[in-house]
């Protein structure tokens, strides 16, 4: 899996489905979105979800920090790589970015930007570890801040958290975000989304 595949998938549909259960995964499997984030769940539930979604042609990322029963370290990365087999892993732990890549997966870094100090720390961390993309939270940050973050890091940005309407999503896209992540199924298939009329074939 390469970063190019990820960016091409977002180019076709920049809405990322965030799922918490097998029921959510079934809905996401038939949604136009090309990328899915798995947030939470037990290890073997996550494996089932990833398998289902990959059969549906999705690129699937598992959030290490939210996975139940998995250590939040290099051993946890190895377990996800060998048992769950996602295309990539999300984490807030910058020291695991290289470990994730060493296992042949894409690495997404989740950053919370709450004030100026957390902004500068996020920029510094991204510059140091060069993740494949950054998941910026909350996803409704001011457009000027997202624009500056994209410029300062040179890293593809996914806006996540509190994105509740297509207007919220379009603001993030206008600011330079490559995608937005949402757990609201209503947003997964909204008209007007680039690539949103593309359905799973077969």
CA distances in angstroms from 152 to 37, 114, 145, 146, 155, listed in the order given? 25, 17, 10, 10, 8
Q: What pLDDT is stored for residue 21 in this prediction?
A: 95
What are the mean pLDDT values of the chain's consecutive 10-residue runs (202 residues total)? 88 95 96 96 94 97 95 97 97 97 97 95 96 95 94 95 91 94 89 45 34
195 assigned to some structural domain:
no
Q: Are 81 and 106 in contact (CB under 8 A)?
A: no
For the record, the structure tokens of 121 come out as 């720390």
Q: In total, how many domains does the chain have?
A: 1
For residue 78, the surrounding DSSP H or E stretch is: helix 74-79
Domain that holds residue 49: 3-188
Residue 147 lies in a domain: yes
Would you say the pTM of this structure is higher than 0.75? yes
pLDDT of residue 189: 81
Residue 72 covered by a domain: yes
Do the domain assignments include residue 23?
Answer: yes
CATH code for the domain of 137:
3.20.20.70
Look at residue 193 in the predicted model and tell me its pLDDT: 54
Q: How far apart are CA 125 and CA 19, in angstroms?
A: 27
Tell me if 142 is assigned to some domain.
yes
Instruction: Using alpha carbons only, give the angle 22, 28, 32 rounded to the nearest 5 degrees.
Output: 170
């Amino acid at each position: 899996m390469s970063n190019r595949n990820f960016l091409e998938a977002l180019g076709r549909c920049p809405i990322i489905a965030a799922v918490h259960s097998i029921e959510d995964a079934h809905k996401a499997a038939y949604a136009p979105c090309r990328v899915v984030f798995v947030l939470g769940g037990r290890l073997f539930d996550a494996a089932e979800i990833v398998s289902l979604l990959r059969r549906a042609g999705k690129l699937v990322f598992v959030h290490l920090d939210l996975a139940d029963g998995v250590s939040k370290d290099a051993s946890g990365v190895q377990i996800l790589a060998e048992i769950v087999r996602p295309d990539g892993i999300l984490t807030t732990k910058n020291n695991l970015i290289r470990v994730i890549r060493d296992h042949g997966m894409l690495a997404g870094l989740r950053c919370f930007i709450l004030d100026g100090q957390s902004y500068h720390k996020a920029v510094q961390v991204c510059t140091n570890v060069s993740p494949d993309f950054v998941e910026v939270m909350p996803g409704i940050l001011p457009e000027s801040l997202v624009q500056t973050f994209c410029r300062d890091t040179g890293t593809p940005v996914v806006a996540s958290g509190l994105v509740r309407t297509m207007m919220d999503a379009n603001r993030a896209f206008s600011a330079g975000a490559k995608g937005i992540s949402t757990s609201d199924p209503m947003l997964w298939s909204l008209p007007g989304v680039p690539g949103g009329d593309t359905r799973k074939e077969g």
